[in-house]
Structure 1
Amino acid sequence: MDEHIRIGDVSPRVQYLADGTQASFTYPFPIFHAEDIEVRLDGLVAAGGYQVAGAGASEGGSVVFDAPPAAGCRITLRRDLPVSRTSDFQANGILRARVLNDELDYQVAVLQEVKDGLSGALRLDPSEPGTGTVLPLREARANRLLGFDSMGAVTVIDRGEGTMSVPFPGGVPRTVEDKLAEHLSARDFGAVGDGAADDGPALQSAMNAAAASGKFLEIGEGLFRTSMPLLLPGAAAGLVMRGTILYAGPPGQAALTLGDGAGANNQRKAYLGLGVLRAIQSDWIDEADVGIRIRNIDASRVEIRRAERFTIGVQLVGDGRGCEDSDIHYGRVADNRIGLDLRTLTANAWMNSLRHHGGHFACASATNPGIGRFGIRLSAAPDAYRLHNAHLFLGPGFELQRQGTPGTVDAIPFLVEVDGRGLIAEGVRMEACSPYVARHTGGFSDALYRVAYVGTYGFTGCGVQYSGASRAGGTVLPLHQAAAAQGTPRLVAEAGNVRARAFRWDASGIGFEGMAVLSGNPAGPPATLNGFCFPGLDSLGLNAETVTLPTSRALAFVVDCTTCKEFFLAAEGSGLRPMAMQFSAAEAVMDGSAPVLWSNMNAVWQGAPSYWWEGNADLDSLVGGLPLNRLQRVTLAPNAAFAVIGVRGGNANALLKSLRLYAPATEAPQVLAGAGRLWGSRELTASLAYDPPSIAAGASAMQAVALPYVQNGDFVQAAFGGQASAYIDWSAAVTTTGAAGTVTARASNRHGSLAIDLAAGTLFLRAVKPRL
């Protein structure tokens, strides 16, 4: 027989989000007839345009649209049965199971729809009794607010007497008026903010009210023009601005002053979103022309969006006490002669422990071009307290327009006119500034400027200028294009005086202790490390204090770079070009597929026969008038095991004075020279098992020993490791030279009458190349 439909515990509704291509959508609940399903598209009932399959099936079916619904369309499929009964059981009639099951199935399906509908209704929590939920009569609720009384029952409230409370336990009902008065708004006092009306009196009234009530003042969106300077007394809780004050008042005034002076403690304040713009650009003559002046803040937070066109953009003042332990965030501080001034006014004031975040301190090229400008000043009035301590600046940016190259006016980020300790500036950015990150005119100590970027004028243009200062208390760590100079402190190899390391290798070749000599055109060419690194070559010029390094020659250190892949090269001289070669673990030379990278110039692959990478400029070449190329980090290929790092002559008259190689502090790479390597050592040695013959009185015995590369003029010695005799003298002499050189050892018997026969031992030979 036919299987009867089953009504499972399945929600009678399902939703989909159309993708523009799918036309068939399933429904997991059973329906009795095709018309029992309701189809909605974006909430609207669809009258047609689809077919329904699966009516009468327990597992549901599908709705197939004639055309796919548009992408993003929300599709709702829900069962919607009419609530009615059309069948009836007859008295004493036959009660058929199928008919009864159909009736019960239909009722269960309808109840599922009721349950689904109640899930979206506003209703009481099951733990609450169902009392007090009847709406008042129409006449009682007309033109009134619907709410809840103190017992939570539905009630109505007059519009003018409404109360509000937070929807959480413990909330106390409050009038709407009281709620809205938590913060004062400048518009409550008549401020317009259209940039034309004079909002000064309204703003000052609002500030006075905030001080009288101890509340926050809010200045909303808009441009609030004022013809008078404004003061928010310290009794106000704080100020929040989303708009900007346009100052059109008299010059020589602070447009906006926050807090009280004369010893008042402006503590635990929040001044957020401050923005002040001067209507006419200041001529920068009067330092009393200030945008935002903040007095005696302590444990506070300040956020400045903009302060523009004043002599001093922002000024923190210590007056009768000081500013300390606060965070100040800066935005755009532009077209001011001094962007930020940290100033003490009295002998019992201070300026300590302030944290300064960000800030774009900038000037336009056309703004007072003949007057010097400074980003941040630490200053003190005459006879005021001068010890400013512990200022931390994080990420300030300066674009001060120094007016020409070289600059014709001062454009210096920091001006330190006071004494004190502990100014730290991290991540300083300098654009179009003077070649100084700071000017010190007092006795300030322990100022650290970490310059992240200097822009057009190079990292060398960020020193400290001492103008009448009593201490040189500034340290500059430039990172721009030379970060390796700060991060590679371990000295690996050093030739502090290359000229003093020179020695004669052979008749025409010159070698250098601890260093390899390389040719730009080696014969062959060689294929291995030992073939490319020569102990000495010709064409090198030795001067009184320097070495002339032609373009065909290079001097370098050879290192094991199995683990250490980054080195820092420092060279002193002129016309020198950095170079590097790489070799595999088998000491085979690596080709151009394994690049070497320099930190501040492009790398050029020379290819055969030299097989080295070099920089595309000399180390002392100028960029924009500055030697940007002097400090170079070299990064080797990951598969390099040995490297040759040094300099070659960039021109025929290149001079080398000193050469140093550094590596990261965590590395200690081995330097290869001597000890089995032919290059970099003045000393040659050899040994031979030797049984001297019996030597008659006054006679001598000689033994030739092979000592490759020994030359006439080398200092040679012989020694015997075996039986000793006070009457036997050992000496040596070069007998043949070159790659197959030979040294002859002589044993001379000085005894007047006895022959001496020494027991067998080892004959040692040593040759030392002469210094040049």
Structure 2
Amino acid sequence: MDEHIRIGDIAPRVQYLADGTQASFTYPFPIFEAGDLEVRLDGLVQVGGYTVAGAGQSEGGSVAFDAAPATGTRVTLRRSLAIARTTDFQANGVLRARTLNDELDYQIAALQEVKDEVGSALRFDPSEVGGAPSLPLPAVRANKLLGFDSLGGVAVFDRGEGTTSVPFPGGIPRTVEDKLAERLSARDFGAVGDGTADDGPALQAAMNAAAASGKFLEIGEGTFRTTQPLLLPGAAAGLLMRGTILYAGPGGAAALTLGDGGSANNQRKVYAGLSVFRALQSDWLDEADVGIRIRNIDASRVEVRRAERFTIGVQVVGDERGSEDSDLHYGRLIDNRIALDLRTLTSTAWMNSLRHHGGHFACSSATNPGIGRFGVRLSAAPGAYRLHNAHLFLGPGFELQRQGTPGTVDAIPFLLEVDGRGLTARGVRMEACSPFVARHTAAFNDAVYEVAFVGTYGFTGCAVDYAGATRAGGTVLPLHQAAAALGTPRLVAEASNIRARAFRWDAASTGFEGLAVLSGNPTVPANTLTNLCFPGLNLLTLNADTVTLPTSRALAFVVDCTICKEFFLAAEGSALRPMVLQFDAAENALDSTAPALLSNMNIAWQGAPSFWWEGVADLDSLVGGLALNRLQRVTLAPNAAFAAIGVRGGNAASVLKSLRLYVPGTEAPMVLAGAGRAWGTREFSASLAYDPPSLVAGANASQIVSLPNVQNGDFVQASFAGQVSGFMEWTASVTNSGAAGTVTARVTNRHPSTTIDLSAGTVLVRALKPRV
């Protein structure tokens, strides 16, 4: 070993970035003893857990850790000498070179440390003349800002005195206090965000300050636990969250409320990154248990990253005024009985024109498995305004866990408890949901649900459940079907010219080809399909091109609705009222316990003896100056097997020109007319086994054939299926008319001299009702 350490021009500091496996690190500078080496891991001084080798060596040495530092840890090895004189030279004593060298080495090493530390300090440039100024005394610099004056000298300023400006053209000087107050942070008020401390008071103080100053509030990274509900008043400019509020407060309250209630207008707000998590899972019994409540927003933008474990995850409310014209973006809305609730609270509130983007509306399988759950609800408090209009949902995903197959609880994406018009949901994903994309319980119109995917239980999300609804206002577009079928409703029955279809049923009654005639007050007491659908009735006035339909008469298509329950009725004319008559599989009329529904108007039960459901307005009536009723969706009861769907006269001057019936493109129900049904057909036929007698020249024979519904005045014909002779002429005439009518078939031998005897065969008769 050398006589003494050689102190070279080497910085007394070295750093490494640990890789998780290396445990030994070298230091290239000399130390006098092991205690002279300071060891830090990520800036923290270590007091043990390592061994130092190489003390007293000019080339340095190494540090061996008992356990390799974790990956990414910054390892700092630094010489740190005690500044002290450890030797003394005696007067007139021997000046030994080793002792002198050791002292000089120690001083040089200490000066290297000073140089290293000074190099990390803020200092004047060497070109500047003059020494460093002294700081003002504590009494002068207390609660002041340290800065530089106009000459670049160090100075202290009041918080509202010193100015700065952005380094861009047009920037103006601003005080530091003004710049710092531009956006408030929850941590400015003592919020910790460690998930343990109660940050509720600090968060509320920050929210109050944001409202008082009209500033934007920022809640940074971390988990901010609160034992009290929080309110950000509407006077605040907005809220940005990068962390999460952990709500550990009382139940029956909103964890975070944004905006003011009453008549306040919460306009032009930005609420971004909202994230609220309930410490304990709600039991879903109290609807006042809300994660995020947003009041009276208008022209605003809302981003919800998370709302979990509440009865209602996010609730947008209209108080004395409403919420409208805003964009809302959703992330995880998990384990809430109602993930999103759009609710009016008063009779003067409204809920209109909101655009909803995305969202994962989901429940865990173990969360309150015996209670129904819904993704989106449109609701109103008792007595509140019930017309919710124009909501657009883009790409919502629902995974609601309906609990078993078949489901034992409701797990339905949309619940519409209010009236209104215009809900469009596009690209809906349904996973583990009920076989209904929506449930309507009131009179909502014009709701369109485009179902892009249904998983787990098969593609069964293609229906709307009308539980007590008074309107059939929903249309489901299942995207697994062909686009052509979805875009083209199927025409199943058409009478493009009602007048041209009229025919003489009997001397007093008119029938219409392909249609049944119905009476509002039939005299036949039976309530069957055969007795309530007439082939012809009186009181129908035939005009040159139209038919006058009185209030006591209806024309309808009769359909088999065993599978298809959705029909679309279109009629051309004036003062026409839609009507529906339903029958079960045994063809008995259904009563008021099986309601039919219309899409754009309410429907009323007429009761016996007609058993009609009919609309409360005419199809050509105006709503706000618009003819909204012209096309009606007709939704039949689940237990209906047959139905008559058509129109009756709305007044004594009602005129009918044409009538059409459509179904969704995936359906093809059978229309019942003729083929054994008396109504809607002009032609009847019958046959009878017959062996004509031997007829001499010029003689004839006749046979009576029963032909129900034949009337005097009908065109009748007879023919014979059997042996053929060109001299045997067959004719027919009506013998008796009425329900038990008969036709006489007559055969005449036209040969001038020969007797003819035909073999046995079948005589056929045909009657055709004349058009009128």
Which bracket does the TM-score occupy, shorter chain normalised? 0.3 to 0.5
Question: What TM-score results when the alignment is normalised by the length of structure 2?
Answer: 0.45
Question: What TM-score results when the alignment is normalised by the length of structure 1?
Answer: 0.45
